[in-house]
Amino acid sequence: MSRIKRGKATRKRHKKLLKQTKGFWGQRSNVFRRAKETLLRAMAFAFKGRKLKKRDMRSLFITRISAAAKDNGTSYSSFMHGLKEAKVKLNRKMLSQLAIFEPQAFGQLVQLTKK
User: Would you say 72 and 86 are in contact if contact means Cβ atoms under 8 Å apart?
Assistant: no
User: Would you say 88 and 108 are in contact if contact means Cβ atoms under 8 Å apart?
Assistant: no
pLDDT digits (tens, 9 = 90+) for 9-58: 999 999 999 999 999 999 999 999 999 999 999 999 999 999 999 999 99
pLDDT digits (tens, 9 = 90+) for 71-100: 999 999 999 999 999 999 999 999 999 999
Please report the pLDDT score of residue 114 as a whole number. 86
Tell me the domains of the chain and their CATH numbers.
Answer: 9-114 (1.10.1900.20)
CA distances from 16 to 9, 26, 29, 39, 62 (A): 11, 18, 12, 12, 42
User: In angstroms, rounded to a whole number, what is the distance separating the alpha carbons of residues 18 and 47?
Assistant: 20
Question: Which of the 8 DSSP states describes residue 113?
Answer: H
User: Would you say 98 and 105 are in contact if contact means Cβ atoms under 8 Å apart?
Assistant: yes
User: In angstroms, rounded to a whole number, what is the distance separating the alpha carbons of residues 46 and 53?
Assistant: 10
Please report the pLDDT score of residue 5 as a whole number. 82
Q: Is the pTM value of this prediction over 0.85?
A: no
User: In angstroms, rounded to a whole number, what is the distance separating the alpha carbons of residues 82 and 115?
Assistant: 8
User: In angstroms, rounded to a whole number, what is the distance separating the alpha carbons of residues 63 and 66?
Assistant: 5
